[in-house]
Amino acid sequence: MTTYEKRQDVPEQEKWDLTDLYASEDDWQKDLDDVLAYARELKAFDGHINDGATLFAYLKKQEEMAYKLQHVFAYTMFLSDIDTRDAHAQQLSAKASQAGVKVSEATAFFMPFLLSLDEDTLQQYIREEERLGYFEDSLWKSFRYKPYVLAKEQEELLSKLGETLGAPADTYNMLNNADIQFGLVTDEDGNEVPMTRGMYSKRIEDEDREVRREAYKAYYKPYVELNNTIATNLAAEIKTNTTLAKIRGHDSARSQSLFGDNIPVNVYDHLLAAAKANIQPLHDYTTIRKEKLGVEELRQYDLNVPLVPDMKVDITYDEAYDTMLEALAPLGDDYINVLREFRDKRYIDVRETAGKKSGAYNMGVYGVHPFVLLNYHDDLSSQFTLVHEMGHAMHSYYSNKHQPQITANYRIFVAEVASTVNEVLLIQHLLKKNADQPDMRKYLLNHFIEQFKGTFFTQVMFADFEKQTHERAEAEEPLDANSLNELYESLFRAYHGPELVFDDEVKYGWSRIPHFYRAFYVYQYATGFVSAIDIAMRILDGDQETVDNYLAFLRSGSEDFPLELLKKTGVDLTTPGPVENAMKMFSDTVAEFKQV
Task: Report, as an integer, the average pLDDT of 135-156.
Answer: 91
Residue 419 binned pLDDT confidence (cut-offs 50, 70, 90) = very high
The Cβ of residue 494 has, within 10 Å, a number of other Cβ atoms equal to 13
Predicted local confidence at residue 155, as pLDDT: 83
Predicted local confidence at residue 125, as pLDDT: 97
Distant-in-sequence contacts of 126-135, Cβ < 8 A, 24+ apart: 126/52, 127/52, 128/51, 128/52, 128/53, 129/51, 129/52, 129/53, 129/55, 129/56, 131/56, 131/60, 132/52, 132/55, 132/56, 132/59, 134/404, 134/406, 135/56, 135/59, 135/406
The dihedral built from the CA positions of residue 149, 414, 519 and 196, taken in this order, carries a sign that is negative
Give the Cα separation of 124 and 412 in Å (integer).
Answer: 33
The dihedral built from the CA positions of residue 288, 273, 578 and 517, taken in this order, carries a sign that is negative
> What does the pLDDT look like over 254-313, one tens digit per residue?
999 999 999 999 999 999 999 999 999 999 999 999 999 999 999 999 999 989 877 778
Annotate 543-561 with DSSP letters as a single string: -HHHHHHHHHHHT-TTSS-
Predicted local confidence at residue 2, as pLDDT: 76
Annotate 173-203 with DSSP letters as a single string: HHIIIII----EEE-TTS-EEE--HHHHHHH
Residue 161 binned pLDDT confidence (cut-offs 50, 70, 90) = confident
Predicted local confidence at residue 58, as pLDDT: 98
Per the structure, the complete domain to which residue 31 belongs is given by: 7-149
- Identity of the amino acid at 544: Q
Domain count, the chain: 1
Predicted local confidence at residue 596, as pLDDT: 82
Helices (H) and strands (E) in the chain, counts: 26, 5
300 inside domain? no
Taking each helix axis as running N to C, give the angle between helix 333-344 and helix 380-402, from 0 to 180 degrees, rounded to the nearest 10: 110
The conformation of residue 534, written as its DSSP 8-state character, comes to H
Task: Report, as an integer, the average pLDDT of 178-205.
Answer: 91
Residue 399 binned pLDDT confidence (cut-offs 50, 70, 90) = very high
Predicted local confidence at residue 4, as pLDDT: 85
Please list, in sequence order, all residues whose beta carbon lies within 8 angstroms of the beta carbon of residue 351, skipping any fewer than 6 positions away. Answer: 2, 4, 10, 14, 15, 374, 375, 376
Distant-in-sequence contacts of 252-255, Cβ < 8 A, 24+ apart: 252/470, 252/471, 252/474, 253/470, 253/473, 253/474, 253/519, 253/520, 254/466, 254/467, 254/470, 254/519, 254/520
The conformation of residue 298, written as its DSSP 8-state character, comes to B
202 inside domain? no
66 inside domain? yes
Largest Cα span, the chain: 79
Average pLDDT, the chain: 95
**pLDDT surpassing 90 at residue 426:** yes
> What does the pLDDT look like over 335-366, one tens digit per residue?
999 999 999 999 999 999 989 998 999 999 99
427 inside domain? no
Alpha-carbon distances of 440 from 313, 335, 431, 587, 594, rounded to whole Å: 10, 28, 8, 20, 15
Predicted local confidence at residue 184, as pLDDT: 95
Predicted local confidence at residue 189, as pLDDT: 87
Which residue of the set 14, 237, 389, 474 is catalytic? 389
**pLDDT surpassing 80 at residue 582:** yes
- 545: annotated active-site residue: no
Instruction: Kindly report which listed range (168-177, 460-469, 540-549) carries the lowest average pLDDT score.
Output: 168-177
Task: Report, as an integer, the average pLDDT of 546-556.
Answer: 98
Predicted local confidence at residue 163, as pLDDT: 81
Task: Report, as an integer, the average pLDDT of 381-387.
Answer: 95
Q: What is the CA radius of gyration of the chain?
A: 25
Residue 124 maps to which CATH number? 1.20.140.70
**pLDDT surpassing 90 at residue 156:** no
Predicted local confidence at residue 1, as pLDDT: 67
Task: Report, as an integer, the average pLDDT of 517-538.
Answer: 95
**Residue 195 bridge partners (DSSP):** none
% of the chain surpassing 90 pLDDT: 89
Give the Cα separation of 396 and 432 in Å (integer).
Answer: 29
CA proximity to 448, closest of 596, 551, 572, 321: 596
Q: How many residues does the chain have?
A: 596
416 inside domain? no
Give the Cα separation of 374 and 297 in Å (integer).
Answer: 39
* DSSP E strand boundaries for 312-439: 348-351, 361-364, 370-376
Q: Encode 64-99: b = buried (16+ Cβ within 10 Å), e = exposed.
A: ebbbbbbbbbbbbbbbbbbbeeeeebeebbebbeeb
Predicted local confidence at residue 153, as pLDDT: 83
Give the Cα separation of 322 and 343 in Å (integer).
Answer: 10
Predicted local confidence at residue 349, as pLDDT: 97
CA proximity to 453, closest of 464, 443, 461: 461
Alpha-carbon distances of 448 from 50, 379, 429, 445, rounded to whole Å: 57, 16, 13, 5
569 inside domain? no
**pLDDT surpassing 80 at residue 398:** yes
60 inside domain? yes
> What does the pLDDT look like over 57-80, one tens digit per residue?
999 999 999 999 999 999 999 999
Pairing, β 361-364 against β 370-376 = antiparallel
